[in-house]
């Protein structure tokens, strides 16, 4: 089977990973994969998708703190533990990995999150990005996106997110989430306006895949 184009994006909160990922997908005609994995995972487990929406890049107690309030609602949202039956964190993670691999095998896609750079088989048409940015850039973006007026509150949410993702990938995959060795390109997203950054990354992907085809 011919390898599909796969672009994975790991990102620190507030760095614009989802925005840039959507832009790359539109420009290159790739399928954008984000929450769809959660819905497919929920369907395969026989639970409502909302029951898994808090359970992304999470290990037990520290998933709730972040994703119950930030990713799927305003920061003040109260977290209500979903009825997940008796699935362990590892079982949920492995199911998500299985779904990711099925998607990547059949779709040209951009995958945001889920440790795609680690859990998907490497192949010549795969490009793995890691997005980061200075704290103040991320604070301003989070304050704008989530309508937070308290700068310190935004800082705390970002610090919690960074710690949780680091611990999650260390426990689930045994790798350092932020290590540059795991990616083809690490990008400080504050260097350029995000629309211009999308242009540069689309060009990078085209050059990299073109070079692979020529070799």
b (16+ CB within 10 A) / e for 36-67: ebbebbbeebebeeebbbbbbbbbeebbbbbb
Ranges of each domain in the chain? 6-214
Please, which pLDDT band fits residue 48 given cuts at 50, 70 and 90? Answer: low
DSSP letter at 10 equals E
Confidence of residue 95 (pLDDT cuts 50, 70, 90): confident
Q: Cβ distance 50 to 136 under 8 Å? A: no
Q: Which residue shows structure tokens 């689309």?
A: 202
Check residues 110 and 2 and name the one with the higher pLDDT. Answer: 110
Which pLDDT score, from 0 to 100, does residue 81 have? 42
CATH fold of 6-214 reads Rossmann fold (3.40.50)
What global pTM score does this model have?
0.81
Task: With beta carbons less than 8 A apart as the criterion, state whether 101 and 121 touch.
Answer: yes
> Which of 183, 143, 181, 139 is closest to 162 using CA atoms?
139
- Mean pLDDT score, 108-123: 93
Is the Cβ–Cβ distance between 91 and 41 less than 8 Å?
no
pLDDT at residue number 172: 87
Contact 72, 65 (CB under 8 A): no
Is the model's pLDDT at 21 over the cut of 80?
A: yes
Q: Name the packing angle between helices 89-106 and 36-45 (round to 10°).
A: 120
């Amino acid at each position: 089977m011919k390898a599909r184009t796969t672009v994975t994006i790991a990102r620190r909160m507030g760095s614009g990973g989802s925005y840039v990922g959507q832009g790359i997908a539109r420009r290159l005609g790739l399928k954008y994969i984000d929450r769809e994995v959660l819905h497919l995972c929920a369907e395969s487990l026989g639970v409502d998708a909302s029951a898994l929406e808090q359970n992304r890049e999470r290990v037990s107690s520290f998933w709730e703190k972040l994703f119950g309030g930030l990713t799927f609602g305003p920061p003040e949202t109260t977290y209500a533990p979903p009825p997940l039956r008796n699935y362990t964190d590892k079982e949920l993670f492995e199911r998500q990995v299985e779904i990711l691999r099925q998607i990547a095998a059949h779709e040209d896609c951009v995958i945001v999150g889920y440790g795609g750079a680690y859990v998907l088989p490497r192949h010549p048409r795969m490009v793995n990005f890691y997005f980061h940015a200075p704290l103040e850039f991320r604070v301003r973006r989070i304050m704008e996106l989530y309508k937070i007026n308290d700068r310190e509150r935004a800082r705390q949410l970002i610090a919690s997110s960074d710690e949780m993702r680091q611990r999650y990938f260390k426990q689930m995959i045994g790798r350092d989430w932020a290590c540059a060795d795991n990616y083809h390109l690490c990008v400080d997203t504050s260097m350029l306006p995000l629309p211009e950054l999308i242009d540069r990354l689309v060009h990078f992907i085209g050059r990299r895949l073109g070079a692979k085809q020529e070799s």
